[in-house]
Chain A
């Protein structure tokens, strides 16, 4: 075919059919095709590339298993050691507090930014500007040293009398400072993510709710936010995961979270690599749990988005198994016949 077209473009003659091909005018009898066996198309290069990738992976796995530097014995000892488990707990705790504080405050900031009050809009914009500008680690150290600036904290009328106060250092310990720092930092990013999700919802939705006389808070909670969640969730899950790993920077405040604890242990034993692997595997495990959770939460908020919801991985696996079984069954049946 290619030679024919090339000839046509250079000489300008119409395309000729090659004599060695089946004559085009022979009538095609579809009934004749029924008994023929179909042969699936084969892609040798696809297989070669896949094989090459597997070889590289196998080499890496082999290295993991055989290189004594990984020191799996030490890994096994420390992976479920009490100190490490407690540190994992602390990391999860910091993530949870940071997420809750960050997204609650972020939702408030996003609402302020979308409000009709120019003052609230500006304050919200400034909040995001400030807290996105300051590196997390700088902020953490700053909160840790807050008692240097404000020795006591009091409640009362602004610029007026106070009703009660307490010492900053007693209330805002290392953990408090860490949670505050993580939460405030997270809130700035969460606010923008939430705002992005909200403005992506079709304005007709809010309008329809308004036309029905649905109260304003309910327009937001019942109509707009559930639809905004579809846009918010993927980025929000990113944020939670990066916060989860980001908690490792609070080691600067000597809080016994996972990374700090691992450093303490390898500082004492000198076994750096296996202990880094302990931390790595824990981070991967917990991120996996978060990712699975994300999948199902997203699925919940996608209700009504498609005519038929896509199957879950579990359902997909089941139907694959069923399909394979059916195919082998027919293959066996065909084999028996021939």
Chain B
């Protein structure tokens, strides 16, 4: 998949239905403008199940918008997203596409975990309540079961003893680990990370990335927008470099990071390395 900036048409985008390659996330021809500025200009992306994709690029290149479009927090102007073969935000009926109602979109989102740059934990709820909320209210899990699962997840991110604390009583790194546990509680098919360490002090970055690495080892499908090149090199199966709303180049980390083929990639890496 090289830089293909073309106008997608509805006919050539696969809607739901069987997919040849086992792609967990398929993105086809996403276009999105905010007023006069086009932020996404025809983005295509394929993320195989169980793989880790790291998205790099200068700020304003459309990385965050791409992530937000994947879980339909941002409605795009053109293009489609499918998770595990399920079209997100629309339903195909014959030759028509029906926009899904909010309730159905919310159900689809339970398959897509999202970790925000600013954590967005609910400050008035305890750590445990933050994690239990969605499984109980969105998936209708019994409370006791959801609590037990939440405690397991807290154990996994190393915060079992903080279950009854309020988010503001935790450090940034701890808050982000809780946010990851909260996203995992829905057992999503894919986890999206929007610059998960950008709001953290440098010494707290490691503890969050360690959790993400654990998840990668466990075979979680993830798309991570980050500026941590070292993390990309170590964990990513695919590195995607975006600039100006398009995917400039992608491939294994060694190819993209060490032998970039595009001038823009080289210029960016020269600045951040």
* B-binding residues in A (CB < 8 A): 202, 204-205, 207-216, 218, 222-223, 226-227, 301, 303-307
Contact = CB atoms under 8 A, between A and B. Distances in A.
Contacts of A218: 137
Interface in B92-126: 102-103, 106-110, 112, 114, 116, 118, 120-126
A11 B11 CA distance: 86
Interface centre among A205, A212, A227, A305 (most CB of B within 10 A): A212
A213 B138 contact: yes
Contacts of A303: 124, 166
Contacts of B133: 209, 212, 214, 222-223
A204 B124 contact: no
A207 B121 CA distance: 11
A275 to B, nearest CB: 47
A307 B169 contact: yes
B163 interface: no
Contacts of A216: 102-103, 106
A214 B123 contact: no
Given A222-B133, A304-B168, A213 B123 contact: no
28 contacts: A204-B120, A208-B121, A208-B122, A209-B133, A210-B73, A210-B106, A211-B71, A211-B114, A212-B109, A212-B110, A212-B133, A213-B106, A213-B110, A213-B134, A213-B139, A222-B133, A222-B137, A223-B122, A226-B124, A227-B122, A301-B124, A303-B124, A304-B123, A304-B124, A304-B126, A304-B168, A305-B168, A307-B169
A250 B73 CA distance: 51
A215 B168 contact: no
Q: Which of B123, B169, B182 has most chain A Cβ within 10 Å?
A: B123
Nearest to B165: A304
A213 B109 contact: yes
Interface residues of B, number: 32
Contacts of A208: 114, 116, 120-122
Residue in A214, A306, A307 whose Cβ sees the most chain B Cβ within 10 Å: A214
For the residues of A in contact with B, the DSSP-based class is helix
A208 B125 CA distance: 13
A306 B106 CA distance: 31
Contacts of B57: none
A204 B73 CA distance: 11
B186 interface: yes
A306 B168 contact: yes
A213 B126 CA distance: 19
Interface in B118-148: 118, 120-126, 133-134, 137-139
Contacts of A211: 71, 73, 109, 112, 114, 116
Q: Which of A216, A223, A301, A304 has the most CB of B within 10 A?
A: A304
Interface string B152-177: 00000000000000111100000000
Contacts of A222: 133, 137
B1 to A, nearest CB: 27
A205 B109 contact: no
Nearest first, the 6 A-B pairs at minimum CB distance are A304-B166, A208-B120, A213-B110, A212-B134, A213-B138, A211-B114
Nearest to B115: A211
Contacts of A212: 109-110, 114, 133-134, 138, 182-183, 186
B68 to A, nearest CB: 9
A215 B104 CA distance: 10
Contacts of A205: 120, 122
Contacts of A207: 73, 116, 120
Contacts of A215: 103, 106, 137-138
